[in-house]
Structure 1
Amino acid sequence: MSWFPAVTETFILYEILELERLGVQVEVFPLFGRHGTVRHPGASKLIARAHYRRMVSWAMVSAQLYWLWHSPLRYLAAWWMALSGNRHSWGFFVRAFAVIPKAALFAREMQRLQIEHVHAHWATHPTLAALVIQRLTGLSFSFTCHAHDLFVDRTMLDQKLAAASFAVTISEFNRNMLVELYGEEAARKVIVVRCGVDQDIFRPRPRPRGAHVPVILCVASLRDYKGHSYLIEACRQLKEAGTRFRCQLVGDGPLRRQLEAEVEKAGVQAEIEFLGSRRRNEVAALLARADVVVQPSVVAASGQMEGIPVSLMEALASEAPVVATRISAIPELILDEETGLLVPEKDARALAGALLRLLGDRHMAQRLGRNGRRRVLQHFNLRGNVVRLAESLAAGAALPPLTPQAEGIPEQLRGREGRTSRRSRQRVRVKKSA
């Protein structure tokens, strides 16, 4: 990931903590720093250890000089590879001028720490950094792709996949897409490791009984592909039909003001409440009080869409009945009429109808909730999925070091490589590129 910690990417924090509980030593190297405030006891320990490095510093300059003196061809080849590979994406091209020097600095630090394998979260800038590090040091690397880094911008993804020891993705939907795009390379290298949830934090709790105003809960960042506009319209239809309810929106994002205006226009200010970002334990408590959890996700105009929302896994682990849309890999988690209800995307009427069904049928809601938790425990539990990742990381770290490469540099710049240093390999230590 580019930022650590990030409020919308706490699943990566939990993955790192679980890896360490399994005995994997993890060093965190954030590319760009922190993003928001994550209040978690484990986060503070990792933040204290994380390798935050400023772009303007003597350490940054020193690292560039080191590689220019000891391995000029590799260093120049890394620049050539990254800039030429990103030339068709202006945003990625510009950002490469920050990623490459930061990766060169990280490469020096990893040599000192005797890191043996690099794992990057997101196939965009973090994986570019891992690729640069490999070119400079020969360190093996792997990466996890989630959603936008596969659905929206696949810049250099073919090169990243070819160079990686293995790649991880979070769903069979994503893996099938990668195999369709990249053929045998993807079929051989890509494994599915689900984003898991902690079933002890998100667990069944007593739900409200007796006369009360039903609560509809949506936990999602306020972005276009989350589909809040269709939920607002569904709430308007429920109110128009005479249904009593409260709808709580947990999360924040760039569309908050727009969505607040839509709520006012729809006349559901009394029914819909914006709660902003909440801590994990607060979300768990809200899930325990919710009568229905809804995720109205859509495919945005940009192509952005969900991977598998962790918030849905948390809802199912809490035995909350769920309504979601039938897009991307969501049907791998929500089996229609078995672990939840699925409706077409961008269909407010179908969304309202599904919500009304669950609000009016307690027995169905309880059955779906029980089935949902069972599915999470079997396929989406945190420890089981992290064990698989840890095994793959250990296998990656056990590979012999690669020969650092100077591929892609123009022939006229080729010459005798400068001084190189040997890298000792000792304990398995995994670097998480953040």
Structure 2
Amino acid sequence: MKVLVIGSVYPRFQEDAEVPWLRTSIAHLKKAGVEIQVLAPAYKGLKSHDIDGTHVNRFRYAPASWEILTHEEGAPSKMASKPWLQLLAIPYIINGFFQCIRICRKWRPDVIHAHWPFPHAYIALGAAKLFKIPLVLNFHGAELLLIRKKKWVKPLLKFAIGQAQAIFANSSFTAGKIKALRNVNVEWSPYGTTLEDNKDESGVILSETKDPVTIVPHPVNGKFKILFVGRHIERKGICYLIEAAKHLPRDKFEIRIVGVGDLTEQLKQQAAAVNDGAEIIFTGKLSPEDLANEYKTANVFTLPAIVDHKGDTEGLGVVLIEAMELGLPIVASNVGGIPDVVVDGESGILVPEKDPVALADAFKRLEADPTLIQKLLAGARKRIEECFTWDGIIERQIEVYKRLQQ
């Protein structure tokens, strides 16, 4: 079976950390015997190339110095700060459309799998119709949230959904928004972990084998360490985590905030004003080795996400799955796709969004009750095995591909 995967972003070189979940999913599809090619836009004139033995077809859409619409930051955010980039959307779609036809005429894939259907459904549709290739549209949430700001996107997405032979959504939250547009069958297709398939020296299993995943809780060495990892943007809700520090005893708790973003300086100023309460440490961007050490020495992982002023929120929160596998209990907000991962009281603790007191209370519960941590980690193991192993995700995906060819 041959599948053409279309997306706005794909790693540009071997060490590139862009869309690790997509790269990992393609690796597992190939492991299952599926032939894959990728169609993605160029970045600053980048030519077609191979990554992990997969051919990545790059389509040009502007002079090299202008080809910055994708990669390193979401296109909507880039266009908000650089409105002139919107002018590139038309050549982006047109050039991608013709490149897709060229690939399909020569390679003849059995399925076209287009991620982020706005605008990639329209890049795929010509070839899908011309060569009668089944089209799968894979939604990740952001394209649906655009509807709130750009009303004209709604009919375009509604039409595209009606042209597809299968629809994938990364979470039940995203699936609900698709169904609100058009009443179609939606397949839940989440991400698995992008961690290495091995066991580290502390005994944490990062396994994609059929053996049960063993998750070992972390000992408390000194203060109870609360870890956040992610971009410093509004929808991550970091400001509410900083507010929660005021309600946590300084001699017992420490908050560690990993990453960078547009709000980093603003958040540091907010943290500096917290004179009493848990110590707050900003680590900046870390090397893979230093990041791994943060996970190993933490005691709880938190994602205090919110629905931001644009209506954007977490589509799934794959970082939560990885933190679970690394032996950390989870405290997260009850928004977006997070409840697909965190079942409250079973695989983690959910709190209302924008509620610093509820966050602090959840951390205090975990610090005071090692038995609760053990219970949540056992529930996390069960949740991962049932829903978030790549073997299971890819098996369900291939079943859909096969059904479309019947």
Using structure 1 for the length normalisation, give the TM-score.
Answer: 0.73
Output one character per residue of 1:182-233: Cα deviation in whole Å (capped at 9) or x when no partner. 12xx13xx21112122684564565553642222111222211111111111
Structure 1 residue 108 corresponds to structure 2 residue 63: no
Q: 1:321 aligns with which of 325, 329, 333?
A: 329
Instruction: Name the CA shift for 1:361/1:314 in 2 (closer, same or farther; >3 Å).
Output: same
Aligned to 1:82: none
Q: Which amino acid aligns with 1:193?
A: S
Instruction: Give the alignment of 1:34-113 within 5 angstroms.
Output: 44-46=51-53, 49-55=55-61, 95-113=89-107
Paired letter, 1:152: L
Query: For residues 277 and 161 of structure 1, do their structure 2 counterparts lie closer, same or farther at Cα, with a shift above 3 Å needed?
Result: farther
Instruction: Tell me, yes or no, if structure 1 residue 147 matches structure 2 residue 138.
Output: no
Deviates more, 1:252-261 or 1:326-335: 252-261
Other structure's SS at 1:162 match: helix
- What is the deviation of 1:345? 0.1
2-side partners of 1:138 and 1:332: how far apart? 35
Structure of higher CA gyration radius: 1
Correspondences of 1:225-374 after superposition (within 5 Å): 225-238=235-248, 241-267=249-275, 271-276=280-285, 279=288, 283=291, 285-374=293-382
Distance 1:152 1:361 in 2: 42
Alignment of 1:117-136 (within 5 A): 117-135=111-129
Superposition pairs of residues 372-383 of structure 1, within 5 angstroms:
372-383=380-391
> What is the deviation of 1:175?
2.1
Counterpart in 1 of 2:189? 193
One-letter code aligned to 1:323:
V
Aligned AA (1:161): I
Aligned length: 351
Does the 8 A contact of 1:2 with 1:31 survive in 2?
yes
Does the 8 Å contact 1:263/1:269 carry over to 2?
A: no
Q: What is the SS of the residue equivalent to 2:167?
A: strand
1:169 aligns with 2:179: no
Tell me which residue corresponds to 1:426: none
Q: 1:8·1:221 contact (CA, 8 Å) conserved in 2? A: no
Q: Distance in 1 between matches of 2:121 and 2:292?
A: 32
- Preserved CA contact (<8 Å) 1:2 1:32: no
With 192-201 and 159-168 compared, the bigger mean Cα shift is at 192-201
Structure 1 residue 102: Cα displacement:
2.4
Give 1:146 shift. Answer: 1.2
Query: How far off its partner does 1:8 sit?
Result: 5.6
Decide whether aligned partners of structure 1 residues 360 and 160 sit closer, same or farther in structure 2, where only a CA change above 3 A counts: same
Provide the alpha-carbon RMSD of the alignment: 2.9
Can you list the C-alpha shifts for 1:256-315, whole angstroms capped at 9, x where unaligned? 232223222335895322342554x76555333220110100001101011110011112
2:92 partner amino acid: A
Q: Do structure 1's residue 220 and structure 2's residue 226 form an aligned pair?
A: no
Query: Contact between 2:100 and 2:124, CA under 8 Å: does it hold in 1?
Result: no
Distance apart, 1:92 and its partner CA: 6.5
- Structure 1's 92 and 387: CA in aligned 2 closer, same or farther, altered over 3 A? farther
Aligned to 1:38: none
Whether the aligned pair in 2 keeps the contact of 1:221 and 1:251 (CA below 8 Å) is yes
Distance 1:374-1:237 versus aligned 2 partners, 3 A rule: same
Residues 305 and 313 in structure 2, CA contact (< 8 A), matched pair in contact too: yes
Counterpart for residue 416 of structure 1: none
SS in 1 for 2:398: helix
Aligned partner (choices 31, 44, 66) of residue 41 of structure 2: 31
Structure 2 stretches of 5 or more lacking a match? Answer: 1-6, 45-49, 64-82, 148-152, 199-204, 207-213
Q: Alignment partner of 2:307: what SS?
A: coil
2-side partners of 1:101 and 1:211: how far apart?
56
Relative to structure 1, the CA distance from residue 108 to residue 91 in structure 2 (aligned partners, 3 Å threshold; closer, same or farther) is same
Deviates more, 1:354-363 or 1:250-259: 250-259
Query: Which residue identity is paired with 2:243?
Result: E
Cα distance, 1:381–1:149 mapped onto 2, change above 3 Å? same
Once the two structures are superposed, what CA deviation does each residue of 1:60-113 show, in whole Å capped at 9, x if it has no partner?
xxxxxxxxxxxxxxxxxxxxxxxxxxxxx9987751332212221232123112
- Name the CA distance, whole Å, in 1 between partners of 2:221 and 2:298: 14
Q: Is the 8 A contact 2:334 2:350 kept in 1?
A: yes
The amino acid of 1:54's aligned partner reads R
> Which SS does the other structure have where 1:125 is aligned?
helix
User: Contact 1:319–1:372 (CA<8 Å) still a contact in 2?
Assistant: no
Structure having the higher helix fraction is: 1
Look up the SS of the partner of 2:41 in the other structure.
coil
| Offset, 1:348 | 0.9
- Distance in 2 (CA, whole Å) between partners of 1:171 and 1:244 is 36
2:210 is matched with: none
Amino acid at match of 1:163: Q
Instruction: Identify if the C-alpha distance between structure 1 residues 23 and 56 changes in structure 2 by more than 3 Å, giving closer, same or farther.
Output: same
